[in-house]
Amino acid sequence: QSALTQPASVSGSPGQSITISCTGTSTDIGFYNYVSWYQQHPGKAPKRIIYDVTKRPSGVSNRFSGSKSGNTASLTISGLQAEDEADYFCNSYTGSGTLFGGGTKLTVL
Amino acid sequence: QVQLQESGPGLVKPSQTLSLTCTVSGSSISDGGYYWSWIRQHPGKGLEWIAYVYYGGNTYYNPSLKSRVNMSVDTSKNHFSLDLSSVTAADTAVYYCARVMWPNSYDYWGQGTLVTVSS
């Protein structure tokens, strides 16, 4: 199984919105509504920010939102803040386990 | 507050078996409702799912690692374990344990432990 495909990096200025894509196949993202997203700051463990494609855990800012179309899931961060600078990973259920994306480094300019 | 803590040797010799334990507090493994998982991250790289297990015994493994991996659960100690055999330098990584809301919502993570494979 190959990792889900994410752009290596994205950037945006404070206050702007950015979207990170995560592309899989018809046997993972395209088949199941089980996509999650994680934020990871340097030297820290990942933190769940989206699950089941669109659900946001308690305590996570509503500036984070998730969506899916076909084999591609997306994470949108609105009103960018300096603290959003981090690595972001997507994850999908595959029917027999889970698969992570390669990660996207978000730089807040 | 749910907490997970990895423990095990930080240095393993090539061809040996890497063994790690994840001790859980604030959540009982035998209560059901969750799976328990190992994930690793090679230095400067992305996350790689290794396996997950349910306390009742259902276990799922990453196909690329399945031949070398074994996960187990000890409900009396409220911990779960990972054994990865025949390790090479390519297994050098930070290993995380996590709790999983089925099937792929990793809601609590350990802090991670770096395991280096070197002679």
In single-letter form, the type of residue at position B32 comes to G
Please enumerate in sequence order all residues whose Cβ is within 8 A of that of A54, keeping only pairs 6 or more positions apart, or say none.
Answer: A65, A66, A67, A68
A59 to chain B, any CB pair closer than 8 A? The answer is no
CB contact under 8 A, A103 and B52: no
By the 10 Å C-beta count (0-12 exposed, 13-18 middle, 19+ buried), A87 is classed as: buried
Confidence tier at A93 by pLDDT (50, 70, 90): very high
The confidence band for B57, taking pLDDT boundaries of 50, 70 and 90, is: confident
pLDDT tens profile B68-87: 999 999 999 999 999 999 99
Q: What is the pLDDT of residues A54-67, one digit of tens each?
A: 999 999 999 999 99
Residue B107 CB neighbour total at 10 angstroms = 16
Confidence of residue A52 (pLDDT cuts 50, 70, 90): very high
- Element (H or E) spanning B38, and its range? strand B34-41
What's the rounded mean pLDDT across residues B96-116? 96
* Residues on B contacting A at a C-beta cutoff of 8 Å: 39, 45-49, 51-52, 60-64, 96, 101, 103-107, 109-112
Residue pLDDT, tens place only, A28-48: 999 999 999 999 999 999 999
Please give the residue of chain B at the shortest CA–CA distance from A49.
B107
* β-pairing verdict for A86-93 and A35-40: antiparallel
